[in-house]
Each structure stands twice: as structure tokens, then as C-alpha cells.
Chains A and B, each alone.
Chain A
Amino acid sequence: MKNTLRIFFLLVLVFVSQQMLGQNLNISGIVTDNQNIALPGVNVIEKGTSNGVSTDFDGKYSINVSNPSAVLVFSSIGFVTHEIRAGQSSTINVSMEEDAAKLDDVVVIGYGTQKKKDLTGSIASADLEQFEDSPNTNILQSLQGSLPGVTIGQTATAGSDPTILIRGKSTLGGNTGVLIVLDGAVYRGSFSDLNPSDIASVDVLKDPSSKAIYGAQASNGIIMVTSKKGKKNQKTEVNFATYYSTQSPIQNRRTLNRAEFIESSRLNQYTVGFLAPDYTTPNPDYDYLGDSGVAATLELQNSINSGTDFNWFEAGQNGSPYIVDHQLSVRGGSEKTTYFLSAGYTDQLGWIIGDNFNRKSIRINIDTQVNDWLKVGINTFGSFSDRSGQSPNLQTFVLMSPLYTPTDANGDFILNPSASSLTNPFLDVQSDDLNKQFNVGNQAYLSIDIPGIKGLNYRLNYNNNYRTFKGFNSNIYANNSLGAASKTNSSTFDTAMDHILSYDTYLDNDNFHGLKTDIIYGWNKIENETTTARASTFTNQSLGYNNLGVGLIPVISSGGYKESFLSTTARIIYNYDSKYLFTASIRRDGHSAFAEGNKIGYFPAVSAGWVLSREAFLAEYSKIDLLKLRASYGLNGNTSPRYSAQNTYASNPSNQYVFGDNPNTVNSFVLNRLISPGLTWEKTEGYNFGLDFGFFSNRITGSADYYLSTTRDLLFDRTLSATSGVNSIRVNIGELQNTGFEFNVNFNPVRTEDWNWDIGVNFSTNDNKILSLTGDDIDEDGVEDDLIQNNYFIGKSIGTVFTYVEDGIYQLGDDIPSGFEPGSYRFKDLDENGMINEEDRTFIGQREADYQLGISNNLTYKNFSLKFFISSIQGGISENDPWVGAGGFYGLTTYVGNNRFSDIDYWSPSNPNAEFNRANSSAGGVDYTPFKDRSFVRLQDISLGYTLDKDLVQKAGLTKVRFYLSGKNLATWTNWKGWDPETVSGLGIAPKIPGSQNDAFLALPVMKSYNLGLEIAF
């Protein structure tokens, strides 16, 4: 009976609406912003229908509606959506209010978009405007410090990608890279190939349910990058922007000059350089040459005696590093077609010589509505970057002492100027080096509104990305000056297709119960090939790498791989009046790298949101604009590198042999990987609880999130018994947990016609903890064993520091145990057994930070804008040993002969309270590195901008002219010593910090810069 009634009413409704269709009421008007400027491109839609238009260049619109009770919805990105009942009036002018909180913003989620206010997950959207005046050659630099839960590292070389960590590290040996989705397609190229000026938005999917839509590759977080597009009915806008940035290291470090160097050598060998017993009175008989043993050759002796004072370190630097950037874009759109075209040019000169970056990029984005059911579009880009030039070995040019020069009297380079095995660092620079990367790609789509069923849409995404690398090098000094040259050519072709069938509808006629369902089927295939040809020993080197055939000793190698992914996904999004929100999804993923039978994984997720502020009981509180609770659950996967589960044989140059005295090389094969039959996905199961709020007309907005995620079946290279024939096998072990709290709030305390002031604060923490490892208890103490050799401890973070406890430095006259000496570190004998051994190690801290904090400020007064951003990471310790890389044993010279930085506070009898030990002092066989606090506060960005008066520029036929002056990394407050706390590059000169949580960090300075920019539009 109930059903019959329902059908009856439905029929009546249909009948009535059919009747009403006959009526035709025309409404027109002008849409402006609150400064009375016409707004083109505003969507005007009759609510609940597909009937809609958008405003023209003058903000005018005209729409026919069915009846006076129709509701018109005016919406445009960046403005609060406005709803007005049509009534009997034929003219409706609307003034749109800018949406300070941007709650109506659309956020890019997996395979689609969603209004920010309807989100149930935790998605951070980058405020790209805040950083548009900064000299960022990489879009990630605009995210640095500004998004809670997202840690972006510093870069120290030109054109490099910073590291990204989202909500802590969740793997031991699996993939650690975030998944990048560019305009809807997985992008495996480098961020440095994307022109930051082409990017409209960057959204970071952080919570497990948002990520789960990318299933198997989701666990490290997902960065959704969307490129700029044209707008419908927009007149063509041409935009030209340029800036020049001059850079210098944030730390002014230098090496010792001649006098300091000789004095330092005396200090180092204080037993001969000074007089006993207190060794503070210089020994008048000290003879630097004779006592240090540095000058074994005649050339060296002559150089030293002639008073040479050469600054190697300075000679290895570019005097004035810079960035020059030009951008030109054209965007616009007609009723049916929109377009965005751009060309960009970036040229960067790094700090160390040979560190160059040049990028030329183009982009063409076009979308067109072919007919009423078909829409097609394509985003294409090309990025052509050039990093040609070889940098000298940084370590060596620090170590070279001021007493000799890189060239002889004739100006020829000396191969081993120190007469030790250290090669002249400037030989590398003499290379003819070419390093070019081309990256071209497209994301094409076709979208079909399936006829007959409103809201049913089929979309096909087809993505191609082709990346090539050319690395050519020839050096006449290499191979003992007989010359060496090489050419590497490599290319990667990445292709993917997604079929998306979606149905977007309301379950009822009052449009309360919104339902969107998606079914997605996709595949992704990556093919790579690499060829390297080398040759050495050239009779005549004038042809360089262009004719490797004339090199007498050729070596050729090549490689390649194929990798494939397959996925099927289903998702439903339910929305009751934007009050109750619910999303559920499941993805079935396949990846070729896992064992037979384990290639497929299932990744489900659910999430819900409750918008309290739309409930009647809160409606009376007008000060509350938004109050929303969110909760989500999801399962995310992480993949393993290729061939992890295969048994493969190594066959490479180190496995070649020659039988007999005739050069007749044979290849040999050796097993290097065992089959890992059970290898499967690493799975992260996570929960996220969040709160979004907006008060006082959205003058205070923000959100808070708490998350807990547990990763199981961690991918790990388990050390095998040597009897297996291979060193390790990749297996799934253990359990790891990440918990954290994130908070961000935006204030808009001043919002007048002339003044606007926005303040944003973000804060986040992450705690990482290993819950379980192998599950073994070999020592039978009833507690699962740690993996000490890997520095993994149950109950501690991945980056926990387990080492000795420093207890000052041994002084002259101390009772010094055997193996130690004055100037070496003293350690606490924790087990009090009278000797320092491995039992005296303990937990002294962790590498992970306690929290990170970002504060942004954006103040505008009339045509002026002042922005600044302060970034801080607090807590966490890292290795900082001034002697790391300072030279172990180089031929006949030791620390005495190697140069060092001038800012090291090291022990000598005249400096007994030094922070660091005496170089090369014996530490009784204790393997110890000092750890230091890496907390810092940094004024990361500051800019002052001025926009010329509109009236003025319009006379010149322009629409916008803007100047700005900005600074980056102008001030850093920290107790860390050395290059930079953020890159954890300390006083030492090691090219890589062993055991560091961060990937390879060159011991290079971070740059500060002053920039001048100009933007013109017409």
C-alpha cells in the first residue's frame, strides 16, 4: 500500500512538472563582486535541474526558468554560493561575496572532485598564492612547512626534488615515495619537470580513506596536482611574469687559510708543536714541514716554501648563484571550448660550480564540449631540462690544503696536487658534460553523458608520459689523462588508461539524498630501456664523447624493465543535505612485482561526516558557520621494487673473467636473489578523526585531525644465512604504528575595503613506533627480539638513536683508560663493568621531530601586499660530526695535511672545553658519532608586493601590473652547527650521512635569496 501511494505521488509529481515545463519565465541580471566589478563565468543554475548558464564578460546572464518558485544557484570558485528564489521579478542582480574560507572550493580527490565542505577525509590543499612571490623552481617548495602532516625537505642543488614525507614513515624496506597524480593520472616523473606556474592546485590526500582509492600505491600519501585551465566565456588573458633571484648560502662557511692551516696542524700534533707538560706554550723548534710529513715531493716543498695560500673552497663556488624565470601564458574560453597555453623558462646557477639547471616548458590544456553528451579534452606538456656541467667532488675541494695550487706554473692541472691519492677536484670540472632530460606527456579524456539516464557518465582517461635522459661526459684528465668518455641514453614510457563509469543522482525528488557512485577500471604499464657506452684511452681526445669508437677500451651495457599495474575500484558517496556524509570504496589492485598468487590485493575504505552546524540545534548560533565531525577508516598498500619475488642471476662487469693471456672476456652468472614465494603487499590500516570549523562569518576557520595507522607485513630485506648463497630475501614482517595530531587555523581579523589580514597557523606531530619485527625470541627472554643490526627496536621509532652516552672529553692529566687519549670523547660506563663496550649503548633520542609548525601572514592594504611565512621544526636529533669525511687515511697525509672548515670547535690543550674531540683521536674502538638537536625556526618567505591602479593600467591597455620584492630563507634561528638543520647537513663534509633517515644529502649549503618580480596581464 505504501508503495502504491509512493508511485501515485511520483506520477502526480511527474505530471505536474510536465505541466510546468510549458511555462517560461525569463530572468536576467548582472553578477558582480562586492566591489561592484562584473564577474564573468559565474554559473547560474536552476536548482535541482540541469538548466544552467554562465555569465558573460560583462557579468550578464539570462535564464529561462520553469516557475517562480524555482531557486537560482549562483556559484563561482572563490565566492560563497548564493541561492535566490526566482519570484516574479525578471531582473535579479547578485553581488557575490568572496569566500574567505574558500569552503566552496573544490578539492581534487581520487578520480574526481568534491566540494571541500562535503569532504569526509583529511585533505590538505596548498595555498599556492601565499608563495607565489617566492623563487620556487619546484612546486613542492610552495608546500614546504605550510601543510600540517606534510614534511617537505630543503633542496641544496639546482633543480632537484625535495624529499616528501606525509604523516611519518610507514615502511622499513618498501617504497617511500609519495604517489603523484597529475590531472587525474599517476605521474612517475620528477616534480622538477613540472613548471610551478602551470599549476592551479595541489591537494594532498592524507587520511586512509581518501588514499584508499589508490589502493596498492597509497600508503605514503598522494599528491594531487592539477594544472591550470581556461574558463568558459572568458576573454583571452595574456599573462607575463618574470623574476630574478640572487642567492647566497645561509651560512658563510670557509676553510682555513695558510696561516690558520699551519697553526691548526701544530694544534693537531700538539705533542711536538707545543711544550710539555701543559702543551700551551708553542715549541720554538716545531717544523711544520719536517714534523707533519706532508711534503714528500719536490714540487710540494717548493709550493709550500713559496708562501702559497690558495683558497680551494672559494675556487669551487660560483660567485653569485641566481635564478632567472620568465613565464608567459594565454588563457580563455568560449561557450564550448576553454584553453590554457603556457611557456616557461627557468635558469638557475647553483652554488657549487657545475651545478646548473635550465628548464624550458610548454603546456597546452584544451577542453571542448563537442555536443550535449560528449566532452573531450587534453592536457599536454613538455619539459626540457638541462643540468649539463659536472661539479667537483665537494669533499676533495674542502680537503685540499691552501699550501698548493690546482695548476702548475704552465697553467696545466696537476693530477694529484697533494701527492696523496686525492685527485685534483677541478679535473671533474674540465669535463665536457651533457645532462638533458626531456619529459613529454598528455592526459587526454573523453566524457560521455550517457543519454537517457541523467547523471550517468562514462569517462575515459588516457595518459602517456615519455621521459628521456641523455647523460654524456668526456674528460681528458680521466683515466690517468688518457681520457674517458661515455654516453647514457635512457627512456621510460609510462602509459595508463582509466575507465570511469559514474552515476550522480538524488534518491528523492527533494534532492536531499545525494548519491554518487563510481566504478573504475584501470591499467598502467611502464617500460624502460637504458643503454650506456663507455670508452677510455683515446689516442687523440679531440672528439670527446661524440666518437666513442676511437677509444681503445670500450665497455657497453644496457638494461630495461617492464612493470604493470591493474586495478578495479568501486565507490559510493552519499550526502544527505550536506549534513550527513558517507563514503565507501573498495579497490582491487594487481602489481607485477609480487609473487605468483599474491599479485592481487583488496583495499577497502569507509568514511563519514556529520555537519553539526546544519542541525537545527545549532542553527540559532549565528556565530557558528561550520562545525563538522569526520571519521574515516581505510586500508592502503605499498609496493615493492621490481623482481623482489624473482630468482635472478647477476651478470655484470664484476662477474667477468679472462681465461688465458689473450683478451678474451667471458661473462659469468651468479644467483643473486631467491624466489620469495609469499611476498605480498605491505598494508597500512588507518583511522582518522577530524573536526572542521568556521566561526564569526568564517573569520576563524580551521580543522583538527587525529590519526592512527598501523602497517603490517612490512617489506623488509631479511638477512639470510650465508649458506643460502645470497645475502638477503625480501619478506613481509612486523608491525609499525604512526599516530599524530594535526591542527590548522586561519584568522581573518581585518576585512575592510582597504585592509585585509589573513593569518594561518599549522601544527602537526607524528609518533612512530615499531610494534613487532620478526616475531622471534631467540634469547628466550619472553620478549620478542629487536633487530639491533638494523637499528630497529620494538617500542621505539624507526629513527631511534641507540648509541653511547658522551661524557665530556679526556683532558691532559686525566686517568685515561687504554685505547683513549687526551682529546678523545669520554663515555659513560652504563653497565659499570669498567670497560666501554657495546653494552654501554642506550637510547639517547630519535631522529624524528617532535612537531612542525608553520605561520603564514598575508596583509593587504589597497594595492600593497605583505606576506611572510615562518617555518619551524622542533625536536629530533641528527648526526653532526665535524670530522666525518675529513679524510681517513689518504696516502701519506692524514688530518694534518687535509684542510678543514674554520668553524669547528675542537679540542686542543689550549681549548680544553671544546664541543668536539680532537681530529683523529683514538676512541678506544668505540664506534661513535655525536648527535645534535636539529630544531630550528626559519623566516622562510617574505614578500612585499604592489599592484598598479586598475584605471592606470587600463589606459595602457593592460589589466594588471604588479611588482614584488621578496626574500627566501633570510633568517634561521637554531643551535645546530654546520650547513643547515633542515637538511641535517652538519659541520662535516661527508657526501652522505650514514644511517640518516633522509636520503642522500650532499653536504651543501641551503641558499637564501633576494628576488625582484614583475607580473603583467592584458
Chain B
Amino acid sequence: MKKSNYIKFLVAFLSLSALISCNEEEFLEEIPVDLYTAENVYSDPSGIEAVLANFYVRERYIYYVGASDVSYSLLYATDAFFSARGGTGTNEKIANLTSAITPTTYISQFFYEENFKIVAAANLLIQNVIESDLEPDKKELVIAEAKFFRGKAYRDMVYLYGGVPLITEFSAEPVYDRVRATRAEILNQMEIDFRDAADGMPSINKVNDGRVSNIVASFYLGETLMSLGRPADAVTEISKVVNDPNVSLMTGRFGSRSSTGGKDVFWDLFQRNNQNRGSGNREALWVAQIENDVPGGLLSSTGSSGRNLFERNCNPAVWSITDPDGKPGFIGRQSNDNVGGNGVGFLQPLPYTTNTVNDTGGGLWPANYAGDLRCSNANLIKDAIYDNPASAYFGKKVSEFRGKNMGTGIGTPNQVASSGDWRFYKWFVKSTTPGDHPIGLFDPNNPLLLSNNAGGTYHDMYYLRLPEAYLLRAEAYLAVGNTSLAAADINVVRSRAGAIDVAPGDVNIDYILDERTREINLDEQRAITLRRVGKYGERVIKYNWQAGPTYLPRHDLIPIPQSEIEANTGAVLEQNPGYN
């Protein structure tokens, strides 16, 4: 090799060696470039706000989004609704309590997992906010809101499962040895959390639409105190809600469709855009935010992404009824009171829920549906009329000429239901928005009809409305033995609906539960309410012909999920009695 070659070689080799050197630790450091981590979430007020916002996402998810309609399992198998199509092979549409509610079914898993996600996120947030350099008064607000959601999560769980593990600190390391706290321990923690939240959160006129406020915390604090056996204290707390000058029951027509004739204030409460305070609604306390075709709004015209499918689940499949000749009796899925959109009839009210006192078997509405807005023709649909001009039965009532595919309507309740009764039954208008579906839901080829993507309920949903506070305080007055004050509270709610007053002597817990069905059915999570007041078994047996016979005492609580027991390898997580 020539000398010049040696030099060339040396230069080449040295310049290559320079390429070799690099800092190993730096090179192998993993930085997720498109994901948030603890470092960039809590270091910034906007990150903390985003963690808070997630509580609202999760809460809405639990009641209105859950896959396989698991959210509605809190309505099935109660004293108000049953599974119109016999469960059709799914556990979530509970027809048979024994097979639907087991340690391995999704129902038991869903409410446990989802609520504990809220608990964990609240603990993590509280811990990080304390350590953050947020201003002290802002810290207090954030912590109060986080505690509210922790309390709310435990509230749902304590009534569904009884005592669950009590966790108030986030663990960065997996914990495999959880044990259950007692019901009382959970309730005590809820009292602390709701009280801190009520003290620390702003008043309802100071928060954005959809946000929780001090009186929402006071409501749940009152409810918790009832469960702790302190009804007098509960009265004090619930009175803060009822007496808040910023809230009152709506008594006159209001909102987006106030000029629609033949309707009433109760109907207005469930029209699109009428739930938030911004619409003038002053009785809404806490509202689940649902918008159509808006990111984060849950619903979309394509029908594929969202949920809140009350229309689909609650409304009968009127559009599918054939007339007695076997010809189509309806022209299709119309957005009106007669057809009710794209219902498919899963969640049917029990006879007691829609019948009047003078109907066979009785019901909770006054005779001939007179004198109560909540069962007026605007709010409770009682019949359907054949609307297909090509049908020989055009203009005739379905109740008088049952469709060929509806069965005879005669026989045992089970025979009636399974032969097609789900194509028509009485239904509550609040589950949909007749005549006011978003434009994207109509069939482009036939603008009279809704497309198959319809089925959502295109208004916000109430978590809490002021009437429920009156009814809860009535419960508290009843518990301290003051039936006249209890009756007075119930009558505030009844008189707004135009119903006659209840006499103090007629007030008992069953009356209050009936009144709740009249006022807040489909808003309240009935399976929680019944378990909270200890009347689940009694009333399901009494009113639910379908789930009642399958009731066992164990169903007063739902089981701890088996997956949870199995994942908890370091200690025994006790199962609820009767499920082993």
C-alpha cells in the first residue's frame, strides 16, 4: 500500500469512529411524543382541568354509554320496567335475575370497574394537585370537585354492592390484597367527601352548564345521611338544595319549543336544548351533556359512535306493525308521537307504571289519566293509529285491531310479551324528541322517515332535578315521623304537575317511590334507588311479573365481580352472601 493510501485510510477511519460515540442513556430514553404522562399533565392548570373534565366523561359513560346497553341494566328488573323481549339472549337486558346477575356477568363487573376508575382518578388528582404549584384557592376548588366524584362513585357502589374496598390514596404500584370495608365505613367516607365538596364548590349560578355545584354535593350528602340513619341531619342538608335561591321548579312553558301547541311545562323539560340553565331551566341541578354531531357530544347522525339510546330501547317498534291482514300498517319510522321514531321495544314499562288506578291490576296514575301533566297525552302515549294509507286499517287504533305480528294480547303476561306485544305498549315521550330529530337522522331518500341510524335520545339527560330533592326531603321527614312536612314536599312536586295533593296520612315510602316513578322515571337509576331504601325485593316481586319470580334475597346486592376476586391474589375479597 502506498503512503498516501495509509493517510486516506486513517482519515476515513477517524471520521467513522466519530460516528460511533453516543450517550447510551440518552439514546435509550423513551419519550412518548403523542401521549400525556404524569409529568406534563399535572404541571399545568389546563392539564388538571382536563383530568377534572374526565370525571364528567366517565359519569356519563356509566349511565348512558356502557357497551351492550349495560347502563340500562339499572332500569331492567325493577318495579317500573321489564325486558320486553325476554332478554333476547343478553344478560344486560335483565329478564331473569338469577342468570343475568352473577359474579361473571358484565353487570357486576361494569359498575364496579367504572366507579373504581373514578375513585383512582380522584385519588391521583388530589395527590398531584396538593403537590402542584397551583394557587391555594384553585387547589381547594379542584380538590372539592374531585372529592365529589369520589363520593359519588362510592355512593353508586355502596348501594349496589354494599361495602367495597375503601381507597383514598392512589397507589402507583399494583395492589393485590384489597379487602372490603363495611357499608358504614364507606358511608362515613362519603359523608366526609360530600361535605368537603359542598363546602368547597361554587354555587350553581357560578358554574358552567353541566358542572356540579355545592347543592349537588348537598343533595348527595343528605342522601348519605339518610343511609347513615340521621334523617334530621339529612333534612338540614337537603334544605340547602331546596332553599337555594338560584333554583326553583318550572311552572310555565319555556325553552326551544314553548310555542308548540297542546303541550305543557313537563313536556318542555324534555325537549332539545331545554335541560341546561342557559335555556332558562331553573330546576335542573346536574345534567349529563349530550350533543349530536359535536366531538365529545356522544351522539352522531351516523349512529355508530354514540349511545344514549333511550328511544331505541324504550319505545315500542310501532313502525314494524303489520295490520290484521299481514300488510304493513305503518309507513315507517316517523318522528312523531304516533310512531315514536326508531324504537325496537326492549325496555317496556310494567303495567303498574303506565296504568291507572282503575285499570285491571291497578296502576300509579289517576283514573282516566286525569289531572296530572305527567300522564297527559303529551307525555304518555297510550295508543297508536295505523298510518299506512295502503292498509285497510288506516286511521284505526292498534289497541282495537292488533297487528298480525303482535299476537292476540291474551294469555299470561309472558305469552302476551313473547307473541309481539313489544311492537306496541304505552310509552313515555321523554325518551325521545318527536318531531324534533336532528336533520341528519332523516332518510335522505324519504324525508318523511327516520333513517335506521335513529334511536338515540337527542336531548341532555338529568342526573338530578329539583323535584328529586323535594322527594328526598320528604323521605327524610317521613323518617323523622313528620308526615305532614313530607306531604308538603311531595305536594310541591305534585301541584306543579297539576295533580291533587296527597294527604299526610297517605304518605309512606311506597307512595314516595311511586311518586318518583311518576316524576323521574327514566331519569333515576331505579335499581339503585330501590336498593338504597331497602325495598328492592319487595317491590320487584310485587310489580314485576317477569323478574319477580326469579328474585332471591341475594339480589338485594349485586355480586362482587369474579374477575376482581381473582385479580386480588394477595387477600380474600369476600363475595356477597348467596353468590358462592
Interface residues of chain A, those whose CB is within 8 Å of chain B, are 287, 289-290, 293, 295-298, 301, 371-374, 412, 414-416, 420-421, 423, 448, 450-452, 458, 460, 478-482, 484, 497, 499, 521, 523, 536-537, 553, 555, 558-564, 566, 590-593, 599, 642-643, 645-651, 653-661, 663, 665-671, 674-675, 677, 718-727, 729, 774, 776, 778, 789, 888-889, 891-892, 925
Task: Please report which residues of chain B, range 239-291, place their CB below 8 angstroms from some CB of chain A when the two chains form the complex.
Answer: 273, 276, 278-279, 289, 291
A670 touches B54 (CB 8 A): yes
Q: How far is the CB of B46 from chain A (nearest CB, A)?
A: 9
A480 touches B13 (CB 8 A): no
Of the candidates A480, A562, A727, the one having the most CB atoms from chain B within 10 angstroms of its own CB is A480
What residues of B have a CB within 8 angstroms of the CB of A558 in the complex? Answer: 34
Q: Which of B32, B175, B293 contacts A553 (CB 8 A)?
A: B293
Cα(A553)–Cα(B167), bound, Å: 42
Cα(A553)–Cα(B172), bound, Å: 39
Q: Which residue from chain A places its CB closest to the CB of B317 in the assembled complex?
A: A892
Cα(A561)–Cα(B453), bound, Å: 36
Q: Which residue from chain A places its CB closest to the CB of B211 in the assembled complex?
A: A659
In the complex, besides A564-B28, A643-B35, 12 extra interface pairs with C-beta distance below 8 angstroms are A479-B440, A480-B301, A560-B34, A566-B24, A592-B30, A649-B35, A649-B36, A668-B57, A670-B51, A719-B563, A726-B120, A891-B344
Q: Return the CB mask of B17-59 against A: 1 if under 8 Å, else 0.
A: 0011010100111111111111001000001011111101110
Q: How far is the CB of A720 from chain B (nearest CB, A)?
A: 5
Q: Which residue from chain B places its CB closest to the CB of A287 in the assembled complex?
A: B326
What residues of B have a CB within 8 angstroms of the CB of A650 in the complex? Answer: 35
Q: How far is the CB of A760 from chain B (nearest CB, A)?
A: 45
Q: Answer whether A725 and B297 are a contact pair too, CB < 8 Å, given A643-B32, A660-B209.
A: no
A590 touches B28 (CB 8 A): yes
Kindly state whether residue B405 has any CB partner on chain A within 8 Å: yes
B13 touches A657 (CB 8 A): no
Of the candidates B35, B36, B50, B172, the one having the most CB atoms from chain A within 10 angstroms of its own CB is B35
Task: Please report which residues of chain B, range 550-576, place their CB below 8 angstroms from some CB of chain A when the two chains form the complex.
Answer: 561, 563-564, 566-569
A647 touches B38 (CB 8 A): yes
What residues of A have a CB within 8 angstroms of the CB of B38 in the complex? Answer: 647, 649
Kindly state whether residue B415 has any CB partner on chain A within 8 Å: no
What residues of A have a CB within 8 angstroms of the CB of B185 in the complex? Answer: none
What residues of B have a CB within 8 angstroms of the CB of A719 in the complex? Answer: 563, 566-567
A658 touches B28 (CB 8 A): no
What residues of B have a CB within 8 angstroms of the CB of A665 in the complex? Answer: 294-297
Q: Which of A460, A484, A657, A671 contacts B302 (CB 8 A)?
A: A484
Q: Answer whether A722 and B112 are a contact pair too, CB < 8 Å, given A480-B440, A659-B211.
A: yes
B320 touches A480 (CB 8 A): no
26 contacts between A and B (CB under 8 A): A287-B326, A297-B332, A298-B388, A301-B328, A371-B5, A480-B301, A482-B444, A536-B302, A562-B33, A564-B28, A592-B29, A643-B30, A643-B35, A647-B37, A647-B172, A649-B38, A654-B57, A659-B208, A659-B209, A660-B278, A663-B291, A677-B173, A721-B174, A722-B116, A725-B120, A789-B566
Cα(A298)–Cα(B295), bound, Å: 37
B296 touches A725 (CB 8 A): no
What residues of A have a CB within 8 angstroms of the CB of B569 in the complex? Answer: 774, 776, 778
Cα(A789)–Cα(B567), bound, Å: 11
What residues of B have a CB within 8 angstroms of the CB of A450 in the complex? Answer: 9
What residues of B have a CB within 8 angstroms of the CB of A484 in the complex? Answer: 302
Q: Which of B175, B208, B320 contacts A721 (CB 8 A)?
A: B175
What residues of B have a CB within 8 angstroms of the CB of A448 in the complex? Answer: 9, 12-13
Kindly state whether residue B107 has any CB partner on chain A within 8 Å: no
Q: Return the CB mask of B165-208 against A: 1 if under 8 Å, else 0.
A: 10100111111101000000000000000000000000000001
A668 touches B388 (CB 8 A): no
Q: Which residue from chain B places its CB closest to the CB of A478 in the assembled complex?
A: B302
A666 touches B37 (CB 8 A): no
B27 touches A646 (CB 8 A): no
Cα(A661)–Cα(B459), bound, Å: 10
Q: How far is the CB of B41 from chain A (nearest CB, A)?
A: 6
**Count of B residues near A, CB < 8 Å?**
106
A649 touches B41 (CB 8 A): yes
Q: How far is the CB of A686 from chain B (nearest CB, A)?
A: 26
Cα(A590)–Cα(B23), bound, Å: 12
A670 touches B121 (CB 8 A): yes
Q: Answer whether A725 and B444 are a contact pair too, CB < 8 Å, given A593-B30, A669-B50, A789-B566.
A: no
Q: Answer whether A663 and B297 are a contact pair too, CB < 8 Å, given A484-B302, A722-B112.
A: yes
A669 touches B209 (CB 8 A): no
Q: Which residue from chain A places its CB closest to the CB of B118 in the assembled complex?
A: A725
A674 touches B174 (CB 8 A): yes
Q: Which of B9, B53, B405, B443 contacts A668 (CB 8 A)?
A: B53
What residues of A have a CB within 8 angstroms of the CB of B117 in the complex? Answer: 670, 722, 725-726
Cα(A44)–Cα(B451), bound, Å: 80
Kindly state whether residue B119 has any CB partner on chain A within 8 Å: yes
Q: Which residue from chain A places its CB closest to the CB of B331 in the assembled complex?
A: A298
Task: Please report which residues of chain B, range 413-472, place their CB below 8 angstroms from some CB of chain A when the two chains form the complex.
Answer: 420, 440-441, 443-445, 451-453, 460
Cα(A451)–Cα(B10), bound, Å: 10
What residues of B have a CB within 8 angstroms of the CB of A657 in the complex? Answer: 53, 56-57, 60, 210, 289, 296
Kindly state whether residue B496 has any CB partner on chain A within 8 Å: no
Interface residues of chain B, those whose CB is within 8 Å of chain A, are 1, 5-6, 9, 12-13, 16, 19-20, 22, 24, 27-38, 41, 47, 49-54, 56-58, 60, 88-89, 99, 112-113, 116-117, 119-121, 124, 165, 167, 170-176, 178, 208-211, 273, 276, 278-279, 289, 291, 293-297, 301-303, 305, 317, 319-320, 322, 326-328, 331-332, 344, 388, 390, 404-405, 420, 440-441, 443-445, 451-453, 460, 561, 563-564, 566-569
Q: How far is the CB of B112 from chain A (nearest CB, A)?
A: 6
Q: How far is the CB of A1012 from chain B (nearest CB, A)?
A: 46
Q: How far is the CB of A745 from chain B (nearest CB, A)?
A: 46
Cα(A590)–Cα(B119), bound, Å: 37
A451 touches B5 (CB 8 A): yes
Cα(A671)–Cα(B9), bound, Å: 55
Q: How far is the CB of B417 from chain A (nearest CB, A)?
A: 15
Cα(A374)–Cα(B567), bound, Å: 62
Cα(A559)–Cα(B33), bound, Å: 8
Cα(A523)–Cα(B28), bound, Å: 10
B41 touches A656 (CB 8 A): no
A537 touches B452 (CB 8 A): no
Q: Answer whether A667 and B53 are a contact pair too, CB < 8 Å, given A646-B30, A660-B209.
A: yes
Of the candidates A371, A478, A668, A721, the one having the most CB atoms from chain B within 10 angstroms of its own CB is A721
* Complex A-B, nearest 9 residue pairs according to Cβ-Cβ distance, in ascending order: A725-B120, A656-B296, A668-B54, A668-B53, A660-B209, A649-B36, A722-B113, A592-B30, A296-B320
Q: Answer whether A555 and B295 are a contact pair too, CB < 8 Å, given A643-B32, A668-B50, A668-B51.
A: yes
What residues of A have a CB within 8 angstroms of the CB of B566 in the complex? Answer: 719, 778, 789
A646 touches B175 (CB 8 A): no
Cα(A643)–Cα(B33), bound, Å: 11
Q: How far is the CB of A832 from chain B (nearest CB, A)?
A: 21
What residues of A have a CB within 8 angstroms of the CB of B331 in the complex? Answer: 298
What residues of B have a CB within 8 angstroms of the CB of A537 in the complex? Answer: 293, 301, 440
Q: Which residue from chain B places its CB closest to the CB of A553 in the assembled complex?
A: B293
Q: Which of B13, B36, B60, B295 contacts A648 (CB 8 A)?
A: B36
A373 touches B37 (CB 8 A): no
What residues of B have a CB within 8 angstroms of the CB of A412 in the complex? Answer: 445
Q: Which residue from chain A places its CB closest to the CB of B26 in the assembled complex?
A: A564
What residues of B have a CB within 8 angstroms of the CB of A669 in the complex? Answer: 36, 41, 47, 50-51, 54
A721 touches B567 (CB 8 A): yes
B328 touches A298 (CB 8 A): yes
Cα(A892)–Cα(B320), bound, Å: 8
A479 touches B567 (CB 8 A): no
What residues of A have a CB within 8 angstroms of the CB of B405 in the complex? Answer: 290, 293, 296
Of the candidates B33, B36, B445, the one having the most CB atoms from chain A within 10 angstroms of its own CB is B36
Q: Answer whether A497 and B19 are a contact pair too, CB < 8 Å, given A648-B37, A663-B297.
A: yes
Q: Answer whether A723 and B37 are a contact pair too, CB < 8 Å, given A371-B5, A537-B293, A599-B28.
A: no
